Amino acid sequence: MTDKALVRALVEAWGPSGYEDHVRALIRGYVEPLADEIRVDGAGNLICRMGKGGKKILIAAHMDEIGMVVTHIDKDGYGRFTGIGGLLPATLLGNRVRFENGTVGVIGLEGTFDISKQPKSLSEFFIDFSDGGASRIRVGDVAALTRGMEERGTRLIAKSMDDRIGCVVAIEAMRALKGVQTGNELYFVFTTQEEVGIRGAKAAAFGLSPDYGIALDVTLAMDTPKNGANAVKLGAGAAVKIFDVGHIVPPVIKDWVLSTAEAHGIPHQLEILTAGTTDAAVIQQTAAGIPSATISIPTRFVHTTSETVDVNDVDACVKLLVALIERPVDM
């Protein structure tokens, strides 16, 4: 069963794109006893090797979360900001942000309270530090949305499930594979700067030059009112990527993932995503081409402070990943 304490520790950690140090140190603590070798590359990726020889497989989950950079502090001490990654204006008013030094601010909206106001641009918002808090903040400082995790039955609700839940899947798979002779050379890579342009995975793929790639990331669960038809559902199992806007999964990879899920009786569903992509998109296009899969964790309310996942899906993703890489991969 999903280690909820692990999930909580990761989702509540602070780490906007480019500022993943704390998340990396936290993950390092969990994986240090599991990996044969650990290093950090030039892009800040945490690279953990398990096994030696056989096919090289890169398993990527990104550590970073969306956030904001302070661009300006006005004479009254209000901060202005620009987004890191896909910050949604509709989610911001009244939300709280936390800076690396612990300072918490509240996001406000310019103008008089107006229930019909539809903010369109981040430039309409400001951060209220209150009580002289701005003195602890400098232009260029980085913040993330802050909110604790809630548990509700099989559901977990938190910020930054995107993509700390992918990191959880990777860590759980490493735990399951500790001591197993898989016949593969596995590289579990916790990547940087996914939310601003899939930067870390690109560097990791070039540096490792693997035979195959597997990205672990969230996907949009669309089983909510007036959402898509035939869509990924929460609780219906691991989502096996078929297509997204940056990644068409090669048929041989798709067949490998689907046949493995079926052979092991792992709950799964097919995923076709028309908004967003994952680390696999750049891994696949690196060097002479690295055939790549994505295993997605269905998630509601992506890029909000209430990203919601189902632990049964998380378990299915772990089982599927382990089943894919626990014996020599040969396609």
Partner 1 sequence: MLKENLQKLSEAVGVSGGEKEIRQLIRELVGEKLAELTTDPMGNLSGVLRGTGAVPGFRVMVAAHMDETGFMVSNVGENGMISVLPVGPLDMRYLITARVHVGEKKQNGVLLWPPIHKSNGQNAVPGVETVQIDVGADGKGGVSASPGDRVGLIGAYAEMGAGLVRGKAFNGRAGCAALIGLIDALIAAPLPYDVHFAFTAQEMIGARGARVAAHRIDPQAAFVLRGTEANDLPRPDNDDSVAVIRLGGGPAITINDPTFMADRRLVAHLREVAESDNVPYQIDARENGVIGGGLVSFARAGVPVGVIGLPVRYMSSPNGLLNLSDLENTIRLLHGALAALRPETLEN
Q: Mind telling me the catalytic residues?
A: 194
Q: Is the dihedral of CA 79, 82, 84, 85 positive or negative?
A: positive
8 A C-beta contact, residue 127 and residue 274: no
- Provide the mask over 273-292, with x wherever binding to partner 1 is found by CB under 8 A and - wherever it is not: --------------------
CB of 18 to partner 1, least distance (A): 3
Nearer to partner 1, 19 or 30 (CB): 19
Instruction: Report phi then psi at 108, rounded to 5.
Output: -115, 170
The answer to the question of residue 40 lying near partner 1 (CB under 8 A) is yes
| Binding of residue 139 to partner 1 (CB under 8 A) | yes
- Decide: 142 and 84 in contact? Cβ < 8 Å: yes
Q: Nearest to residue 244, comparing CAs of 198, 289, 189, 308?
A: 198
Of the residues 197, 251, 289, 328, which one makes contact with partner 1 according to CB under 8 A: 197
Could you tell me which residues come within 8 angstroms of residue 308 by beta carbon, excluding any fewer than 6 positions away?
155, 156, 157, 161, 221, 234, 299, 300, 301
Helix (H, G, I), strand (E, B) or coil at 80: strand
Does 300 sit near partner 1 (CB under 8 A)?
no
- In angstroms, give the least distance from the CB of 191 to partner 1: 10
* Under rule CB under 8 A, residue 303 binds partner 1: no
- CA distance linking residue 276 with residue 274, whole number of Å: 7
Closer CB to partner 1, residue 83 or residue 237? 83
Give the shortest CB-24-to-partner 1 separation in angstroms: 7
Q: What is the Rg, in whole angstroms, of the alpha carbon atoms belonging to the chain?
A: 20
Mask for 84-123, x = binds partner 1 (CB under 8 A)? x-------------------------x-----------xx
Please, which residue, 24 or 303, has the CB nearer to partner 1? 24
CB of 66 to partner 1, least distance (A): 12
Burial-class residue 314 by CB neighbours within 10 Å (0-12, 13-18, 19+). Answer: buried
Instruction: Kindly state whether residue 33 participates in binding partner 1, applying the rule CB under 8 A.
Output: no
Q: Using the rule CB under 8 A, is 259 a contact of partner 1?
A: no
Tell me the DSSP string of 151-216: EETTEEEETTHHHHHHHHHHHHHHHHHTT---SSEEEEEEES--TTTSHHHHHHHHHH--SEEEEE
Burial of 185-218, coded b for 16+ CB within 10 Å and e otherwise, reads: bbbbbbbbbbbbebbbbbbbbebbebbbbbbbbb
According to the binding rule CB under 8 A, does residue 19 interact with partner 1?
Answer: yes
Q: How far apart are CA 258 and CA 49, in angstroms?
A: 25
Q: For the window 155-194, what string marks contact with partner 1 as x by the rule CB under 8 A?
A: --------------------------------------x-
Q: How far apart are CA 142 and CA 84, in angstroms?
A: 9
Q: Residue 164: is it exposed, middle or buried by C-beta count within 10 angstroms (0-12/13-18/19+)?
A: buried
Give the nearer residue to partner 1 in terms of CB position, either 149 or 203: 203
* Distance of closest approach, residue 90 Cβ to partner 1, in angstroms: 18
Which CB sits closer to partner 1, 142 or 216? 142
Q: 63 or 236, CB closer to partner 1?
A: 63
Subset of residues 206 to 225 that bind partner 1, contact rule: CB under 8 A: 206-207
- Residue 69 binds to partner 1 (criterion: CB under 8 A): yes
Positions touching partner 1 (CB under 8 A) are: 17-19, 21, 24, 40-45, 69-72, 74-75, 80-84, 110, 122-123, 126, 138-140, 142, 193, 196-197, 199-200, 202-204, 206-207
